[in-house]
Amino acid sequence: MGPSITAAAPQFLVDDLDRSLDFYQRRLGFTRDFVYEGFYAGVSRDRAVIHLKCAPKLDAERAHRRSGEHLDAFLVVTGIDELYAELVGREAPVIGQVERRPWGTRDFLVEDPDGYVLCFSEPA
pLDDT, tens digit, 9 for 90 and up, residues 34-88? 999 999 999 999 999 999 999 987 778 777 777 777 899 999 999 999 999 999 9
CATH number at residue 81: 3.10.180.10
Residue 5 placed within a domain:
no
Per-residue pLDDT band for 110 (boundaries 50, 70, 90) equals: very high
| C-beta separation of 80 from 122 below 8 A | yes
Which residues have CB under 8 Å from 83's CB, separation 6+? 77, 120
Can you tell me the mean pLDDT for 109-120? 93
Spatial separation of the C-alpha atoms in residues 51 and 40, rounded to whole Å: 7
Count of domains observed in the chain: 1
Residue 114 placed within a domain:
yes
Domain around 116: 11-123
Predicted structure pTM score: 0.91
> What pLDDT is recorded for position 21?
98
Can you tell me the mean pLDDT for 86-112? 96
Query: pLDDT at residue 93 above 90?
Result: yes
Residue 17 placed within a domain:
yes
DSSP line for 36-84:
ETTTEEEEEETTEEEEEEE----HHHHHHHHHTT--SEEEE-S-HHHHH
Sign of CA dihedral 95, 96, 97, 99: negative
CA-wise closest residue to 120 among 98, 104, 102, 101: 98
Residue 1 placed within a domain:
no
> What pLDDT is recorded for position 4?
80
Residue 6 placed within a domain:
no
Mean residue pLDDT of the chain comes to 93
Q: What three-state secondary structure class fits 39?
A: coil
